[in-house]
């Protein structure tokens, strides 16, 4: 891509991000400005503007990965709730034009969707990765189950 894209830079390793999982053309990173502890972003390594532009197989892999992460939060880590969301277009609040899906565990009752947004610290990032990393095998199991 000739355009400047922060997520493409992360994929290439030019820009730093805390990475939880990388395989099958999928990257899972910690949101730099999480709204809850464990707020993750699932993105495709290839650049597509948003969900409306990504081909079906890429869309399936990203959403299946997000779904596996939701299960990890709800079942393995006992989060009482989780949101999975993508924004397509500025009207919907999209800010980074590289297809990505937010996975947001909710540890407390939701009041306003994007409230409590704060800057991710090294300490918080390490804690999140240490808590989740041993469970990411479920992502591979989900993708394999559909032959992706």
Q: Which residue's Cβ has the minimum distance to Zn ion? A: 5
Phi-psi region of 3 (alpha: psi -120 to 50; beta: other; left: phi over 0): beta
Q: HSE on the CB side for 123, CA within 13 Å?
A: 0
One character per residue 40-79, x = contact with Zn ion (rule: CB under 5 A): -------x--------------------------------
Q: Considering beta carbons, is residue 44 or 65 the nearer one to Zn ion?
A: 44
Q: Which of 61, 98, 100, 135 binds Zn ion (CB under 5 A)?
A: 98
Of 24, 86, 80, 79, nearest to 57 by C-alpha is: 24
Q: Does 7 bind Zn ion (CB under 5 A)?
A: yes
The footprint of Zn ion on residues 16-45 (CB under 5 A) is none
Q: At what angle do helices 137-145 and 56-71 cross, to 10 degrees?
A: 140
Q: Does 8 bind Zn ion (CB under 5 A)?
A: yes
């Amino acid at each position: 891509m000739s355009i400047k894209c922060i997520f493409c830079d992360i994929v290439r390793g030019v820009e730093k991000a805390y990475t939880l999982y990388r395989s099958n053309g999928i990257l899972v990173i910690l949101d730099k400005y999480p709204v809850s502890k464990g707020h993750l972003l699932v993105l495709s390594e290839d650049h597509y503007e948003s969900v409306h532009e990504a081909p079906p197989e890429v869309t399936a892999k990203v959403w299946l990965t997000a779904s596996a992460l939701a299960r990890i939060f709800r079942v393995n880590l006992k989060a009482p709730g989780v949101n999975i969301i993508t924004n397509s277009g500025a009207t919907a609040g999209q800010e980074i034009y590289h297809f990505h899906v937010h996975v947001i565990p909710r540890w407390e009752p939701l009041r306003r969707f994007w409230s409590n947004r704060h800057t991710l610290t090294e300490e918080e990032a390490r804690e999140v990765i240490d808590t989740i990393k041993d469970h990411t095998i479920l992502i591979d199991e989900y993708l394999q189950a559909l032959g992706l």
